[in-house]
């Protein structure tokens, strides 16, 4: 990120204004707040601390392709790794991409923080009307696909035709 912003990481670490907190996200937010500084954070921790009145920091940059943080599920191939419970892994994968789970993901803590902490991507990718869908394809896909065909072990219903 620093290189993308035009900074040399080695030199930057020597700057008097630069600080690495070396701690968790909550503590980092408190330090940035105390010093009127800037930090990168996840929305959940930010909203929790803001809601509790622990910080007064404002979001300067929110949804940007460069800040996209995609979570993926990977079921390990039992032919490559012994002792893998592939059947249950696939059951869990199917649950994660189900409408029920996608709704749970999108609504998690939404009532407490007035916005989603996580954005379900299954329908987003199917509908393909939101720019975030393209960002996901550009940053989290491999050669234009969620999973290259050589790594697929059945379950072709998961993949685009």
pLDDT, one tens digit per residue, over 60-83 is 988 888 888 888 888 888 888 999
Indicate whether 3 belongs to any domain. no
Confidence of residue 161 (pLDDT cuts 50, 70, 90): very low
Q: Do residues 74 and 118 both lie within one domain?
A: yes
What is the model's pTM? 0.74
Q: Do residues 54 and 74 both lie within one domain?
A: no
Range of the domain at 30: 9-62
pLDDT, one tens digit per residue, over 120-160 is 999 888 888 889 989 988 888 887 777 777 777 766 666 65
Q: Do residues 123 and 51 both lie within one domain?
A: no
Q: Token pair 């408190």 is at which residue?
A: 30
Q: Do residues 84 and 152 both lie within one domain?
A: yes
Q: Token pair 């685009």 is at which residue?
A: 160
pLDDT, one tens digit per residue, over 8-40 is 989 999 999 999 999 999 999 999 999 999 999
In this predicted structure, what is the pLDDT of residue 63?
83
Q: Do residues 73 and 52 both lie within one domain?
A: no
Q: Do residues 81 and 118 both lie within one domain?
A: yes
More confidently predicted of 108 and 5: 108
Indicate whether 102 belongs to any domain. yes
Q: Do residues 73 and 150 both lie within one domain?
A: yes
Q: Do residues 92 and 126 both lie within one domain?
A: yes
In this predicted structure, what is the pLDDT of residue 157?
66
CB-neighbour burial class of residue 43 (10 A; exposed 0-12, middle 13-18, buried 19+) = middle
Indicate whether 2 belongs to any domain. no
């Amino acid at each position: 990120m620093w290189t993308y912003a035009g900074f040399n990481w080695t030199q930057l670490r020597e700057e008097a204004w630069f600080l690495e907190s070396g701690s968790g996200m909550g503590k980092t937010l408190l330090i940035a707040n105390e010093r009127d500084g800037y930090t990168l954070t996840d929305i959940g921790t930010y909203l929790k601390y803001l809601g509790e009145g622990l910080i007064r920091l404002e979001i300067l940059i929110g949804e940007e392709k460069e800040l996209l943080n995609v979570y993926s599920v990977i079921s390990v191939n039992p032919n490559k790794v012994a002792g893998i419970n592939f059947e249950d892994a696939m059951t869990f994968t199917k649950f994660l991409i189900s409408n029920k789970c996608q709704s749970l993901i999108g609504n998690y803590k939404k009532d407490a923080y007035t916005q989603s902490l996580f954005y379900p991507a299954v329908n987003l990718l199917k509908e393909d009307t939101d720019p975030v869908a393209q960002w996901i394809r550009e940053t989290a896909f491999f050669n234009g696909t969620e999973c290259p065909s050589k790594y697929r072990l059945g379950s072709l219903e998961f993949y685009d035709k």
